Amino acid sequence: MYKVYWTASDGAACSKDYVEMVEALTEANHLRTQGRAYVAMVGENPNQMGAMGVDSVRDGQLPSGQTYTWRKRRD
């Protein structure tokens, strides 16, 4: 699911939902070429499990209790 947001000529906030990304991108581009202000597009990932990213690593542990083992290696 994707949503396109824009500001109408009278300053009202508007939005429309799209199932396909191509449709949402096409509409966002069309609104921009019409001169609409503050055009933005967002999407959600229905397969996402939990929060994005890691909030913190304390004493080598992630918030979930798993051990944080990633290390950047330079050869």
CB 13 within 8 A of CB 5: yes
Tens digits of residue pLDDT in 10-54 = 989 999 999 999 999 999 999 999 989 899 999 987 776 666 666
Give the pLDDT confidence score for residue 71 in this predicted structure: 81
User: Does position 75 have pLDDT exceeding 70, yes or no?
Assistant: no
Averaged pLDDT for residues 2-9: 93
- DSSP 3-state assignment of 33? helix
Could you tell me the sign of the dihedral formed by the alpha carbons of 44, 4, 37, 27, in that order?
positive
Q: For the sheet with 37-43, list strands across it.
A: 13-18, 2-7, 37-43
* Total residues found in the chain within this entry: 75
